[in-house]
Chains A and B, each alone.
Chain A
């Protein structure tokens, strides 16, 4: 299956994906949430059964892990991308007081993660699991007999991450694949998930190097507390006092732009490309650039990338780029079977430079 077909399945119908890149740690005990709070950069104001997106930073304030914190009574699940569960356990051992009542368990040996995405993912999940799943709010989770269903996703479409006990994985995967096929969908790769995350402005630890950067340059301040201490907080405070010189900004281009390219105005360099990928919806390149703070704004057409004899114009844009189908598909009125009856605007309402 081509990348374009995978992309079409996810953006227009449904997609199934393995989530081998995600680690899950279970913290148990009366002080499980306090232990998570000690290592995560955000304020963990989150109720049982809900999920909160945060980060783990290194001592220089660089994001090293993208984290969901999911408390449930005296248990807290941490779903992490960017570091292994072994690294996460080491981080907890380093930063959490040994006096806290908390026990760690790496769930990956006994579980696997699959995910379902797409504008009709809610309908597929309602058939596979229960019709009640349609009412599950974004960033919350639901226990069932074979595992836990997390309503999450980083694609801009309806998304469900399924943590399944190992003994149920083969059957569940086969059942889901049959439903995905019935919904005109496909199994998609991590590359396709990452492209969709890039288009919708989700941070990913795989979207280029963040060396020397903090959540301030990356526009992730909403994941950083100003009220508590956490690993990397000194670097964040220092950066806030001194101000930032660069900021992550999204862009589109017709072609010719790749990760690491220098971006220039007519006078001088103004930044560099952090990540870039071909987007079928845009029919061109989408990406993020680290731009000088004086010009780190959307709507600018004056910058170019040089590649030998060729010059490629870029246009800075607001994020998220897409008008996702999942914003337009209403489970009360729409269904996969009647999808042709609805007329939707294009995924990307913009124009290339």
Chain B
């Protein structure tokens, strides 16, 4: 594995773990962090979160990562799964 890839994965896993922690501790998902699959749908089917949860999740992501989402459909794309959230956080950090 190249050093760049190794560093990228390390960053990704660190954010992934923090997002899983938010889902378990703040969003009160009754599930162990390692059982939250990175590509599992968070809303509707999947982990079963709803629109109220979405508002809380957006607030948490702003507080923890500085990820600011305006609530547009395009923004919803960024919180459909844990991996999508990690992508958005990495993109925000790259921009800043």
List the interface of chain A (C-beta within 8 A of B): 53, 138-139, 201, 219-222, 226, 248-250, 265-267, 294-295, 297-300, 302, 318-320, 323, 327-328, 345, 349
Contacts and interface: CB of A to CB of B under 8 A. Distances in A.
B7 interface: no
Contacts of B35: 221, 226
B9 A294 contact: yes
B62 interface: no
Nearest to B76: A327
Q: Please list the 3 inter-chain residue pairs (A to B) with the smallest Cβ-Cβ separation, ordered nearest first.
A: A219-B37, A318-B83, A319-B39
A298 B87 contact: yes
A299 B81 contact: no
A295 B39 contact: no
For chain B, give the interface size range: 20 to 34
20 contacts: A201-B39, A219-B37, A219-B38, A221-B35, A222-B46, A226-B31, A226-B35, A250-B39, A294-B1, A295-B1, A297-B38, A297-B83, A300-B5, A300-B9, A318-B87, A320-B80, A323-B74, A323-B77, A328-B73, A345-B74
Nearest to B82: A318
Contacts of A327: 73, 76-77
A139 B44 CA distance: 8
Given A302-B5, A345-B74, A221 B12 contact: no
B47 interface: yes
Contacts of A298: 83, 86-87
